[in-house]
Structure 1
Amino acid sequence: MSYPLLSQISSPEQIKYFSLDSLKLLATEIRQKIIDVMAVNGGHLASNLGIVELIIALHHVFDSPGDKFVFDVSHQSYPHKLLTGRYHRFDQIRKFKGLCGFCNPKESKHDHFYAGHAGTALSLGLGVAKNRDINKRKEHVLPIIGDATLTCGLTLEALNNIPRDLRDFIVVLNDNEMSISENVGAMKYILSRFFNHPRSNKIYNELESLLSKFPGLGIQLAKQGHKLKESLKNLFSTAPFFEQFHLDYVGPINGHDISKLILVFEALKNNPHPVLLHILTVKGQGMQTATLNPVSWHGCKPFDKQTEKFLTTSSQVSFPQVFGKHILEMAKNDPSLIAVTPAMLAGSCLQEFMKAFPERCLDVGIAEGHAVTFCGGIAYGKKMKVVCSIYATFLQRAFDNLFHDVCLQELPVVFAIDRAGISGPDGSTHHGIYDISFLNVMPNMVICQPRNAQLLKELLESAFSWGLPTAIRYPNMATEETDAALKTRSLGIGEIVVTGSKLAIIAVGHMCYTAIKVREILLPYGIDATIVDPIFLKPLDQDLLYSILTKHTYIVTLEEHSINGGFASIFNQFIVRNKFYQLQVLNLGIPEAFIEQGSYQDLMQSLNLSPKAIAEQIKKEFFSFSEQLNPPSYDYRSFSKY
């Protein structure tokens, strides 16, 4: 499809001169462009299709980047990117060295913050407004939040900090899931339209000012007028909730009506108080399949545009799928098992658990801190088996809760830590490469990572027998599943996967399979590596490590985690503490840098963590090939069983 309007836009300034018909056509082109690119790349589809008219209206009325659009999460910023000079790079969104799928200040002056976690926009916006006022600048600040943002505690904290005299501050509430019944909804809309329209608010404020000037009775008359208005609002509108936080409430209005959006934004530009504009949008607007299935099409895989069917990428199951299926089986056999997740029901593969046991599968919304503390409360008394299913990147938000409300209380909550490792196209805000560092400092915390589906099931089955807070980390990648009988895993016991000599590669989780490929590359050079899966990062299998370190001269640690604070740090402390000074050690993992988006393969290659790159580093670091034997012949297929 051609995009005659969209392809010519290099700056949002250009659309200020578009007619209403041209703006509507532009909305159609933006939607089609997003669909075309998501069909190839995958990404956040439904949320972006639902916000098109809003973004167009914002750029038509306000002057970005002078006026600051502060996106919450920013997974819905694709239309914003298309209107701010990034159209010709949009085909590369979420790809290696391409556009980020979220806001990124390095991409454009129109993006002001990296964003990827919910609940930050209001706090950031208030901070930007404070900066503006202190420095006496003139600009509008517009936090753009979703209805789910209001489930996040940080947003509620920010609401409590809004000053009444804050000017040029408009909170845009993009409500794309609330269902309003026809009878109540119609009355609510009509009353809201009168009481909360900018013009009626202006009339009310002027009337209040006039009444207050009457000698003796003025202030009382003004208060009675205010009480009448508030009483009617309390009956029919949600406005009082927001107005308790010093926000003038406007709405709800149709978020797909460009004309109305422009009219309201123009009217709000000079409001003397902070405003919350409540708009109603439809996720997936313009694509019926996405509208009918907003969860599936929120973060979609590549798909066929004609059939609107997702393309099959792998016949294997993924670690999250194995988790979801097995935890459901455990729940069927154990009525004391409860799962809690902070708004990641689908991503964590807990939908079937929710259908089967809705009273024992609890989604608490975007509230990671609450999720962890809530789990601590459920686990109180140690009679319930509590699993907190949470992404590694989101667990970062609950560090304090983890320490105070689970570990300090010595409660045996099991944390199923999903997306542990590189998160590919989602980029720097989502990579789960820091959690080992803060989990390791928690007294009595168990940290383990399975290399395959079998081991994940066994760790889940065994974890509650240890009686300790436990983190089971696993990536969002394919794994092999078998029907082998499950065995009980003892706390702190690792495994030797392949026995070799001289060189040992201690690889965390799924990186064992990378280590096996490295071993195959090195074998023709006479380097026969031992592959060790520690399974437990805390506590370490000290007996196993003693055995390995006394029999090998060269040690490589391999992990898909930041080396700084990861398994490398834990291992290095172990060898220093136990005075293994004769060893030569090479730590391989994620460097101390923010890793951007890209395919898993591209990112691992760029990090020198591909099998070939690892083998080259080992050869360069440890071996002089003048001393090596002639390369023997090996049948590499024999290693596939590992």
Structure 2
Amino acid sequence: MPPPMTPILDTLTHPQQLKEFSHGELKRLAEEIRVRVMDVLSVTGGHLSSNLGIVELTIALHRVFNSPEDKFIFDVGHQSYIHKLLTGRNPLFPTIRQTDGLSGFVHPPESPHDHFFTGHAGNALSLALGMAKNRDLRGQEETILPILGDAALTCGLTLEAMNNIPRKTKKFLVVLNDNAMSISKNVGAITGILSRFFNSPTANNIYEELTEIVSKIPGYGETLAKQGNKMKESMKNLISTAPFFEQFGLSYVGPIDGHDIKKLVDTFEALKEVEHPTLVHVLTVKGQGMQNAINNPTPYHGAKPFNRVTGEFLPPKSSTPSFPKVFGSHLLKMADEDPNIVAITPAMPVGSCLDPFMKKYPERCIDVGIAEGHSLTYAGGIAREGKLKVVTSVYSSFLQRAFDSVYHDICVQNSPVVIAIDRAGLATGDGVTAQGLYDISYLGSMPNMVIAQPRNGHVLKELFESAFDWRSPAAIRYPNLPTDEDVKPLYKRQVGKGEVLAEGKDVVILSLGHLDQVALKTRELLAEEGISAAVIDPVFIKPLDKELLLRYFQEAEMVVTIEEHALQGGLGSMINTFILQNELSHLRVKNFGIPDQLIEHGKHSDLLERYGITPENIAKALNVQVAS
């Protein structure tokens, strides 16, 4: 039997054991961790390049500090795989992002070393300041360590937190993991300022050298040296583009090689008892240890399964396009034909499949960085005069962060922005913080808003072809799932018009979007029991096709809704209200969807089964009710 590939890692059950390791053992542990991460993610997929880049930094933090007493607060949390491996979760690591397995993010139910559910960028500094205030009010002494990626500095929430850092906050150590990337390359003026500042070690060190030189001037040196802080600030203002962090009350240390464990450990040891808030700037390489990931950090950020030997991605199991791919390719086709079309994305050009559009028309496809609220308000400004046709592509879970921008700057203004809501539905491997299950409930309450969902790629194309004609704010939501893409003529979609997919008289089944196949299969199962069911695709959730619904509801005994959305405030809630308002008291109603609870990660089919959104479960429940 060959020896184990990760003998040191396999002995770890608690991070305190790292304090006993020699420097050489820590370096070997880093190599073992990279082997473990690549071995597992080559099978499961997951956040690869960001975790390969943070190995030594995570080891050094756990070597110096005492988790969970000292609080590690990871921004986004996708880069926490190493933290999981060092905190006793190595045996379960092959289950990461799988049904009932480890989360791909920081996840408090898993471990006392995890303090918050994570998944969105920019909140770590605010959370950390809150924890520091809690600590100080209770008279405790633990160190608070927010661990930020450099992309967090493009988030408005991080800047708001920086503006509120009390100068007297002790044992508050901000770790900036700078790899010059978020998912895609960072954008924006702040990124440029920081890049120029960070990449000038001279700017960071010259004032220290000058202070030493001045102190040696005969007769005056000692007096001048006492003015060191003023001199330091003056020199730094002269030499750097912006003494960025000091102006926010943070002392700055760095930049430090993020792959030098000894230097990292020495730095953190020196700062353990710091009496004022301090930022340690650490330079890392995203994908360190795997050349493919270094050369291609964006595709290897959320990596698909890959060949462990060559590092190349395995061929996809299906050639069927996904909803996002159909969206991206068709929007580009529309843009080729219409120079007035403009697309905006908050740091998701690749995930939203807008990267070909961006390469071809960089002036008309704009990545604003991790700034969801800005992306929607910006879109509202571009669309306000009605001369340009604006599409903003944003994931459903991230759209939540732009709630007020959608209402105040788009709906109230009645700006005809089309919001392409990607990842609408279950988030599968990403879990709790990424679920796209709530957008209907809040968008449905906003005046002027149109909401639609296509059941396949062909209907998606028709909706986007039609959306600018509606002259209204519109949201078109779709999942990240494979879909059919028919080659047939495209027709314009009239607002608020649904479609009958199958006729029937006893039961009316309304299925939302891609769940039409669940509804049609349910219909077949009911037919075997002698129950006749109609299947309707509403297409538009707001406004509903009232005429169509009334015609079918008046003749039926039961109405059923099926949706991959929270039951509270979703399609089912809207249909229930419609039935009450129209006094259709003869109808029995059954809603199938996602319950009012946190939804964990898992395989898509497993989650549908868990929440009863399958033809077999629905038919069984309906058969009992109709028979009674």
TM-score, with structure 2 as normaliser:
0.94
Which residue number in structure 1 is paired with residue 153 of structure 2?
Answer: 150
| CA–CA separation in structure 2 for the residues paired with 1:257 and 1:621 | 66
Task: Look up the equivalent residue of 1:509 and give its one-letter code.
Answer: G
Which residue number in structure 2 is paired with residue 638 of structure 1?
Answer: none
Which residue number in structure 2 is paired with residue 231 of structure 1?
Answer: 234
Matched, 1:65 2:77: no
CA contact (8 A) 2:169 2:275 kept: yes
Distance 1:255 1:310, change over 3 A: same
Superposed counterparts of 1:570-581, under 5 Å? 570-581=574-585
Partner SS, residue 429 of structure 1: helix
Which residue number in structure 2 is paired with residue 400 of structure 1?
Answer: 404
The correspondence for 1:17, drawn from 9, 20, 30, is: 20
Which residue number in structure 2 is paired with residue 240 of structure 1?
Answer: 243
CA contact (8 A) 1:392 1:417 kept: yes
Instruction: Summarize deviations over 1:265-305 as a string: whole Å, max 9, x none.
Output: 01111222100111111111000001100000000111221
CA contact (8 A) 1:368 1:397 kept: yes
Partner SS, residue 310 of structure 1: coil
Alpha-carbon offset, residue 190 of structure 1: 4.3
| CA–CA separation in structure 2 for the residues paired with 1:432 and 1:142 | 30
Alpha-carbon offset, residue 618 of structure 1: 1.5
Which residue number in structure 1 is paired with residue 185 of structure 2?
Answer: none
Superposed counterparts of 1:201-600, under 5 Å? 225-237=228-240, 240-311=243-314, 312-600=316-604
Which residue number in structure 2 is paired with residue 49 of structure 1?
Answer: 52
Task: Look up the equivalent residue of 1:498 and give its one-letter code.
Answer: A
- Choose 20-29 or 234-243, whichever is displaced more: 234-243
Which residue number in structure 1 is paired with residue 92 of structure 2?
Answer: 89
CA contact (8 A) 2:384 2:416 kept: no
| CA–CA separation in structure 1 for the residues paired with 2:43 and 2:575 | 42
Instruction: Summarize deviations over 1:356-377 as a string: whole Å, max 9, x none.
Output: 1000000001100011100011
Alpha-carbon offset, residue 521 of structure 1: 2.2
| CA–CA separation in structure 1 for the residues paired with 2:302 and 2:233 | 41
Matched, 1:34 2:37: yes
Query: Alignment length, in residue pairs?
Result: 610
Matched, 1:74 2:86: no
Partner SS, residue 309 of structure 2: coil
Structure 2 residues not aligned, in runs of 5+:
182-190
CA contact (8 A) 2:431 2:602 kept: yes
CA contact (8 A) 1:188 1:236 kept: no
Matched, 1:109 2:121: no
Task: Look up the equivalent residue of 2:244 and give its one-letter code.
Answer: F
Distance 1:185 1:396, change over 3 A: closer
Q: Which runs of 4+ in 1 moved over 6 A?
A: 178-181, 183-187
| CA–CA separation in structure 1 for the residues paired with 2:461 and 2:325 | 11
Which residue number in structure 2 is paired with residue 159 of structure 1?
Answer: 162
Distance 1:127 1:222, change over 3 A: farther
| CA–CA separation in structure 2 for the residues paired with 1:187 and 1:335 | 39
Instruction: Summarize deviations over 1:294-350 as a string: whole Å, max 9, x none.
Output: 000000111221232222122100000000000001111111110000001100000
- Choose 303-312 or 262-271, whichever is displaced more: 303-312
Structure 1 residues not aligned, in runs of 5+:
625-642
Which residue number in structure 2 is paired with residue 189 of structure 1?
Answer: 201
Identity level (%): 55
Instruction: Summarize deviations over 1:579-619 as a string: whole Å, max 9, x none.
Output: 00000110110000111011101111111112212222222
Alpha-carbon offset, residue 421 of structure 1: 0.2
CA contact (8 A) 1:553 1:584 kept: yes
- Choose 456-465 or 235-244, whichever is displaced more: 235-244
| CA–CA separation in structure 2 for the residues paired with 1:541 and 1:284 | 50
| CA–CA separation in structure 1 for the residues paired with 2:159 and 2:45 | 32
| CA–CA separation in structure 1 for the residues paired with 2:199 and 2:357 | 39
| CA–CA separation in structure 2 for the residues paired with 1:491 and 1:80 | 49
| CA–CA separation in structure 1 for the residues paired with 2:505 and 2:75 | 53
| CA–CA separation in structure 1 for the residues paired with 2:198 and 2:556 | 76
Alpha-carbon offset, residue 236 of structure 1: 3.8
CA contact (8 A) 1:196 1:251 kept: no
Alpha-carbon offset, residue 124 of structure 1: 0.2
Partner SS, residue 167 of structure 2: coil
Task: Look up the equivalent residue of 2:127 and give its one-letter code.
Answer: L
- Choose 115-124 or 613-622, whichever is displaced more: 613-622
| CA–CA separation in structure 2 for the residues paired with 1:98 and 1:86 | 11
Alpha-carbon offset, residue 235 of structure 1: 3.9
Which residue number in structure 1 is paired with residue 186 of structure 2?
Answer: none
Instruction: Summarize deviations over 1:104-144 as a string: whole Å, max 9, x none.
Output: 11100000000000001000000000000000101100000
Alpha-carbon offset, residue 188 of structure 1: 2.1
Over the aligned positions, Cα root-mean-square deviation in angstroms equals 2.3
| CA–CA separation in structure 2 for the residues paired with 1:83 and 1:620 | 51
Distance 1:496 1:196, change over 3 A: farther
Partner SS, residue 434 of structure 2: coil
CA contact (8 A) 2:380 2:415 kept: yes
Distance 1:127 1:196, change over 3 A: farther
